[in-house]
Structure 1
């Protein structure tokens, strides 16, 4: 298990890597790390390549795994106000459903967003399993 919360993202997706770059600039309330799933032993983190290809993951220090909008909410909750407030709001019952819908919509269309790479347009199961280097 990670010694601090870990954000697991798609390192082959330009939109994802830029989003993490911006998230790292938010004022942190607690320490967290971010790593591309292609560089991790996902089995040791008790998750799968299929899940990591499908959504961003937040793995807390206790090993609990949150995916998609719930992972984004956990990330925001680890920052200072006002971002932490937004993260708390995104976990409210009605808002969490809306957030998950929005997350899925963005994830499914990330190949159309600025900063994407060719890997973004591939279906999740066809994206590269590891970096070519």
Structure 2
């Protein structure tokens, strides 16, 4: 099987924002499961940081997948991390979730300090998994690494 180019990997998103998640983090998997039903327009695509596709795309965008402990959003060629990524995702969901984007008014160091505290404790609070999330057949097409 031929190695895919960055252009081919990027084309797999069909221009949709791409969420990178930690495939062995129980909390991260729950976030993906939270997003799926609330993303009524199927706007977001997903890829595990640990997957070959996730690793290649992160490296291409100057991020080290082995040193990554953050939520990452790739949207229109720009990378967002931590609280900014999370709030941008909430803005793209249905219902009242976009209202939380107002927290962008909170200075980023404060938002990111809260984010970092949760990230540091995520395995203790939500556990680890030996396997990546298995999406149902309806959502499977939204995962680049499936």
Q: TM-score, normalised by structure 1?
A: 0.73
TM-superposed CA distance for 1:52, in Å, is 6.6
Among 54, 71, 95, the residue aligned to 2:69: 54
State how 1:64-79 maps to structure 2 within 5 Å. Answer: 64-79=78-93
Aligned partners of 1:11 and 1:38 also within 8 Å: yes
Among 12, 26, 42, the residue aligned to 2:24: 12
Structure 1: gaps spanning 5 or more residues: 120-133
Count of aligned residue pairs for this structure pair: 115
Q: Which has the larger radius of gyration?
A: 2
TM-superposed CA distance for 1:43, in Å, is 4.8
Structure 2: gaps spanning 5 or more residues: 1-9, 131-146
Structure 1 stretches of 4+ with a deviation exceeding 3 A read: 27-30
Paired with 1:66 and 1:51, the residues of 2 have a C-alpha distance of: 17
State how 1:40-51 maps to structure 2 within 5 Å. Answer: 40=53, 41-43=56-58, 45-50=60-65
RMSD: 2.4
Secondary structure in 2 matching 1:90:
helix
